[in-house]
Structure 1
Amino acid sequence: MQGILRPLRALFARQLVAWAEPPPPPVGARTRWLHVGGGGREPEEDEVVPYADVPRPGRRWERKPYVTPMKVLIRRAKEERQARRENPCRVLEHPPDNGLLVPHLVVVARRVHAARERLLDGLTRLVEGEDAIPVKRCRFCPEVHVGRVGHEIRTCEGRDSGARNSLHVWRPGTVRDVVGFPYCYHLFDRVGKPRVVHKEKYDVPRLPAILELCIQAGVDVERYPAKRRTRPVYSIEGRIADFEPDEAGNSEPGALPEPPACSPLPSPAAPTSICSASPDASNEQKEEEVTVPELASRTLQSWIDMRSGAARLMKKYSVHTCGYCPEVQVGPKGHKVRMCRATKHQQRDGQHAWQEATVDDLVWPSYVWHVADPGDGSPLANELKRYYGKAPAVVELCVQAGAPVPAAYQSMMRLDVVPPARDEYDLVA
């Protein structure tokens, strides 16, 4: 009898403990955002944007982290190989792999293209206009600072940095120092000829990668023509076969038309002239009187729209980057030009180690130190650098010009931290 009552007593005791425990606390906004996920939507009023800090730069000899885990990539390759064995000749159904455009992304590509034009125009007026915000650039390293006085934080790794105690040597900066667009090769036919070989190094034009992404997604630029198909292509044992007749009447299967000659490339010193606005639009903008805070707010919104739209396009249109250098290529495959000079390039014969790219690889954010009080005039001290925040140079420039701080960058800029004075930093625990 005692053996039967013992399990019942233990069960009854557990039930009493469960009744005595208080109910679990409600899930807060921050916890709900982190667990449920808030990607691709704006946070509501009662929700808190999760904490975000500046990503730490990797070491020069280390490879960039993979966006997709290697096990997932291996599994996808095995599935594609198995599908190719089961059906050697098949029609590719899903765009853009079959050569067709994704219909709902054409509008997104046009918005990204227009946002880039507005961004470059706004940055030019903010940096080189009458009420310009000073931009500084180190003479020996890529460090950028937004403000009237360069900071004194010892982070220089350029030439003779040891003799200067790692202090920067500042010079005036330009729009190219605020935002950077890496260049890539233009693909006339992203499906028929997706790869540029080394012999075509000087024959194929180069253009900003984000502009190439917009062109492949449906934006028509007269200077860089692209082939638009109306029928899907075939995949025969892994090779693309095009049975659509071209404009010249050539209907031979697998025959690819010659790409038309592109207009001369602009000089590398002025990459912003590629997507410059028309004269009529520029005259209208000059006639329209806009205050500096309004211009900064519009420029910052263009920056956010361009990055969010590019992230949507990159989910369908492949963008590759080198795992060791900043080279980027928009298309199904990376190019074969032997121009890599990064770590272990001798083992690869100068070829790039291609992998999936991110938005930061397509549009360089160029993080700078945040200046809480631009009118103070005193430079940022090296002893107080742990109290300072950072932000992309575009965001810092627009915030100093009068634009409100976006919610996504508030924690990164450390707006809730009050740095001590120079004579008080050693008294802080």
Structure 2
Amino acid sequence: MEGMRKMARYGFVFSGNPPRFYGTKVDLRKLRPMILKRIDNRAQSYPVRAMVPVANEVLQARNVLIHGVSTLLNFLPLMACKFCPEIYIGEQGHLIQTCWGYKHRAKNRVHEWIKGGLNDILVPVESFHLKYMFQSVIRHNERFDFDRIPAVVELCWQAGADLQDENLNSSSSNSEAASESVSVNENLSPEDLASIANNTLTAWEALRSGVEKLLLVYPVKVCKYCSEVHVGPSGHKARLCGVFTYESWKGAHFWVKANVDNLVPPKIVWRRRPHDPPVLVNERKEFYGRAPAVLDLCSKAGAIVPKKYNCMMKLQGLSGPANNRFFGITTEPNF
């Protein structure tokens, strides 16, 4: 206070908080061992006991979802584009020009459709399986010393879930996890198919809400440029980003905070409504509805769709522009 009074005596006026002067410099090389030690000590308070049931529920919902989608695909057709990740649930693909295929193909072209599979709907997202929780950074020359498992399974493992259960398959391929329990020649009635669809849709919602809860407690990183996922407080150092093209950052990932869509991609698809034409055309794509692929598959099998998706699906929307004539004047609806 005495120093401030002397400065005010010589004409210095303070508005709000007094200024602060920092004369010391921070040596980050000395702080690095302290930060790494603090990260290692952080693992002593994990896993959080309250989140262990949530992790087990997420794994259970994941298994129900995989087996349910596999069963529904035996009765409903799935088409996938040969040159891009676009998919469509129906007998034949749409004519909407949204294909951005391989390098030498022009953009905004009509898709070339082939038969799709389980991994086209439930996109596998892998991550390194750490040997212990909150492990130190994985270097580039150590990338082959760690297994690759689904990121959701790795997140649940770090959250304290038991992965020894025979029903919890940690394979990166969803089709392998469902091949043993799904019979291709199984005959199901429409009521049974609708029941499976409702259970599958419930598992989809439970999986996404459970992962969202786990992300509030456990840190997960995703690369901004290549969608690589790493479950841990800091991303790994494996230089795998842009491996097929030269990048200015020499293949190092640019890590940001991950969200639910990075671990459980929704895979949005065009959805045909009852009043739409048999084949969706490009000229009316602004009027068509869209929905996550799992939701569209379950709804076509008889599942009840939650109301929160009605706006995205445009259930009451028009299938194309409509002209109305009043007293000889033509008006078009303004959307």
Please give the TM-score of this superposition, normalised by the length of structure 2.
0.76
Q: CA deviation at 1:417?
A: 0.4
The 1:367/1:96 distance shift into structure 2, 3 A limit, reads farther
The count of residues paired between Structure 1 and Structure 2 equals: 291
Q: Secondary structure at the match of 2:291?
A: strand
Q: Secondary structure at the match of 1:210?
A: helix
The 1:288/1:388 distance shift into structure 2, 3 A limit, reads closer
**What's the counterpart of residue 244 of structure 1?**
none
Q: Mapping of 1:122-271 within 5 angstroms?
A: 122-127=68-73, 129=74, 132-159=75-102, 161-162=105-106, 166-191=109-134, 193-222=135-164, 270-271=173-174
Give the whole-Å Cα distance in 2 for the aligned partners of 1:161 and 1:137.
17
Give the whole-Å Cα distance in 2 for the aligned partners of 1:363 and 1:336.
23
**What's the counterpart of residue 44 of structure 2?**
98
Give the whole-Å Cα distance in 2 for the aligned partners of 1:197 and 1:105.
30
Q: More displaced, 286-295 or 112-121?
A: 286-295
**What's the counterpart of residue 63 of structure 2?**
117
**What's the counterpart of residue 315 of structure 2?**
415
Partner deviation per Cα, 1:292-329 (whole Å, 9 max, x = no partner):
11111110010000000000000111110001111101
Q: Secondary structure at the match of 1:291?
A: helix
Q: CA deviation at 1:96?
A: 6.2
Partner deviation per Cα, 1:185-233 (whole Å, 9 max, x = no partner):
0011123x2322111222210011011111111112249xxxxxxxxxx
Q: Mapping of 1:17-28 within 5 angstroms?
A: none
Contact 2:122 2:174 (8 Å CA) reproduced: no
Question: Could you tell me which amino acid in structure 2 is paired with residue 407 of structure 1?
Answer: K
Question: Could you tell me which amino acid in structure 2 is paired with residue 212 of structure 1?
Answer: E
Q: Mapping of 1:28-427 within 5 angstroms?
A: 97-127=43-73, 129=74, 132-159=75-102, 161-162=105-106, 166-191=109-134, 193-222=135-164, 270-274=173-177, 291-341=192-242, 346-373=247-274, 378-420=278-320
The 1:172/1:313 distance shift into structure 2, 3 A limit, reads same
Question: Could you tell me which amino acid in structure 2 is paired with residue 389 of structure 1?
Answer: G
Give the whole-Å Cα distance in 2 for the aligned partners of 1:105 and 1:277.
30
The 1:277/1:124 distance shift into structure 2, 3 A limit, reads closer
Q: Secondary structure at the match of 2:241?
A: coil
**What's the counterpart of residue 9 of structure 2?**
none
The 1:392/1:219 distance shift into structure 2, 3 A limit, reads same
Q: CA RMSD in A?
A: 3.6
Give the whole-Å Cα distance in 2 for the aligned partners of 1:277 and 1:313.
28
Give the whole-Å Cα distance in 1 for the aligned partners of 2:93 and 2:105.
16
Question: Could you tell me which amino acid in structure 2 is paired with residue 322 of structure 1?
Answer: C
Give the whole-Å Cα distance in 1 for the aligned partners of 2:282 and 2:188.
43
Contact 1:194 1:332 (8 Å CA) reproduced: no
Q: CA deviation at 1:180?
A: 1.1
Q: Any unmatched runs of 5+ in structure 1?
A: 1-80, 224-264
Q: Secondary structure at the match of 1:386?
A: coil
Q: Any unmatched runs of 5+ in structure 2?
A: 1-26, 325-329
Give the whole-Å Cα distance in 1 for the aligned partners of 2:179 and 2:159.
21
Give the whole-Å Cα distance in 2 for the aligned partners of 1:198 and 1:331.
16
Give the whole-Å Cα distance in 2 for the aligned partners of 1:154 and 1:287.
37
Percent of residue pairs bearing the same amino acid type: 34
Q: More displaced, 345-354 or 409-418?
A: 345-354
Relative contact order (alpha carbons < 8 A, sep ≥ 6): 1 or 2 greater? 1
Contact 1:383 1:422 (8 Å CA) reproduced: no
Please give the TM-score of this superposition, normalised by the length of structure 1.
0.60
Q: CA deviation at 1:137?
A: 0.4
Q: Secondary structure at the match of 2:285?
A: helix
Give the whole-Å Cα distance in 1 for the aligned partners of 2:99 and 2:145.
38
Contact 2:290 2:312 (8 Å CA) reproduced: yes
Give the whole-Å Cα distance in 2 for the aligned partners of 1:123 and 1:369.
18
Contact 2:56 2:162 (8 Å CA) reproduced: no
Q: CA deviation at 1:288?
A: 10
Q: Secondary structure at the match of 2:318?
A: coil
The 1:187/1:406 distance shift into structure 2, 3 A limit, reads same
Q: CA deviation at 1:346?
A: 2.8
The 1:183/1:165 distance shift into structure 2, 3 A limit, reads closer
The 1:354/1:344 distance shift into structure 2, 3 A limit, reads farther
